[in-house]
Amino acid sequence: MDRPSVSALELQVKARPVPRHVGIIMDGNGRWAESRGLPRLEGHREGSSSVREVTRTARRLGIQALTLYAFSSQNWARPAEEVAGLMELLRDYLERERPEILDNGIRLNAIGDVDRLPRYVRDPLDRLIADSRHNTGMVLSLALSYGGREEILHAARRMAEAIAKGELSAAGMEEKDFEQFLWTHGLPPLDLVVRTSGELRVSNFLLWQVAYAELCFTDALWPDFRTEEFLRCVAQYQQRERRFGLTSAQVKRDDPPQRAKA
C-alpha cells in the first residue's frame, strides 16, 4: 500500500484529537554532521531548520504547547568551544525567528536555569518573551540549561520556602500545589514526548510531567526530522489508548471526571 502524501497525512492527523502539549528531545545533530565529515556545530545549525519546520507544523495542527529540549544542564560540561558555538546559534535563532514568532501569534517561553545563559543570549531571549507575552497562539517553550531533576529540586526548595513562610500547609499538600512551583506551571499537561536519533531514554527531560505522557522514539536524526516524521509521531499518539491507571472499559465509557485528570 502506498504511503499517503505529507499533505494527506496532515489532513488525517487534523481529523483526530491532537496532543495538547508535545515535548521533543532533539537528538542527533552531532552524529548527523560527523557522518558527513562536517564539524558538529554544522549539525546544530541544520537542526535549526527542523525547529522552524516542526514549530510551523505544530501550530497548523492546533497543538497548544511545544517544548523543545534545546540545551540541558549537563550540556555545560561539553567542550567550551562547542558550548560557545551553541550559544551563538541560539542567539542567531532568537534574532532570525523573531518575526516568525511575532507574526504568527506564538508566545515564547523559556524553562530552566536561564540565569546561566550569557548576556548576549539572555537579552534577545528576554525581549522576545516580553514582546510575545500577549500572543494567544501556541506556546513555544525552549528548555535551556534545563534538567528534570534540577527542576524538581528547584520546585522543592521554593515549596519549602512557602511552607516556612506559612503560605502553604505541608499537611494539606497536593500534586497541584507542588506543580505551581515547576518551571512548566501554566502549560497544558504533557501528552507526548518525541525523541529522535534512535536513543531510548528521556535524558532528564520533564521528569515530573512525563508520568503519563506517551513516548515516541524515532531513528531519524534531528536535522532529518521534518514535517512528515512529526506527523507520524502524532499519528502514532492518536492510535494509543490512554488509560491513566484505569481499565479499557472505564476509558471507553469516557468518564469525564476521571479523564480530566489527564
26-74 residue pLDDT tens: 999 999 999 999 999 999 999 999 999 999 999 999 999 999 999 999 9
pLDDT 10s digits, 129-188: 999 999 999 999 999 999 999 999 999 999 999 999 999 999 989 999 999 999 999 999
Q: What is the pTM of this model?
A: 0.93
75 included as an active-site residue = yes
Q: How confident is the model at residue 261 (pLDDT cuts 50, 70, 90)?
A: very low
214 is in an annotated binding site: yes
Decide which of 2 and 178 is more confident: 178
204 included as an active-site residue = no
pLDDT 10s digits, 70-122: 999 999 999 999 999 999 999 999 999 999 999 999 999 999 999 999 999 99
203 is in an annotated binding site: yes
Query: According to the model, what pLDDT value does residue 172 have?
Result: 86
Question: Is the pLDDT score of 11 beyond 60?
Answer: yes
The size of the chain, in residues, is 262
CA distance 55 to 159: 33
CB 52 within 8 A of CB 97: yes
Query: According to the model, what pLDDT value does residue 1 have?
Result: 56
Choosing from 2, 27, 177, 254, which is the catalytic residue?
Answer: 27
Residue (of 67, 156, 52) closest to 111 by Cα position = 67
What's the grid cell of residue 199? 536513543
119 is in an annotated binding site: no
29 is in an annotated binding site: yes
Choosing from 75, 104, 135, 204, which is the catalytic residue?
Answer: 75
What's the grid cell of residue 23? 515535548
183 is in an annotated binding site: no
CB 220 within 8 A of CB 242: no
